[in-house]
């Protein structure tokens, strides 16, 4: 699995994407909105999202609201 690979290339579907989003929220406290989630079709989408939230958190000392 590379960060550019599609989730579907690994047998993952939209339900798996929901589970990944739930795990991100559970482990990191970062919520991926239901409206945004369909755009998360590649590994890099999750990585980019986490990096952006981390940068926002560093600059603003808080997590952005979804």
Q: Which residue has the tokens 């560093």?
A: 58
pLDDT at 65 over 80: no
- pLDDT band at 62; cut points 50, 70, 90: confident
Q: Which residue has the tokens 């047998």?
A: 11
- From 27, 62, 25, select the one nearest 40 (Cα to Cα): 25
- Does the pTM surpass 0.75? The reply is yes
Give me the mean pLDDT over the 29-37 stretch. 93
List all residues 6 or more positions away from 44 whose beta carbon is below 8 Å from its beta carbon.
3, 4
Q: Which residue has the tokens 């999750």?
A: 46
CA distances from 32 to 12, 38, 66 (A): 18, 10, 7
pLDDT of residue 66: 63
């Amino acid at each position: 699995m590379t960060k550019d690979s599609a989730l579907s290339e690994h047998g993952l579907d939209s339900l798996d994407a929901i589970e990944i989003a739930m795990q991100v929220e559970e482990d990191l406290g970062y919520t991926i909105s239901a409206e945004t989630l369909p755009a998360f079709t590649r590994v890099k989408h999750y990585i980019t999202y986490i990096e952006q939230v981390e940068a926002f958190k560093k600059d603003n000392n808080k997590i952005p609201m979804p």
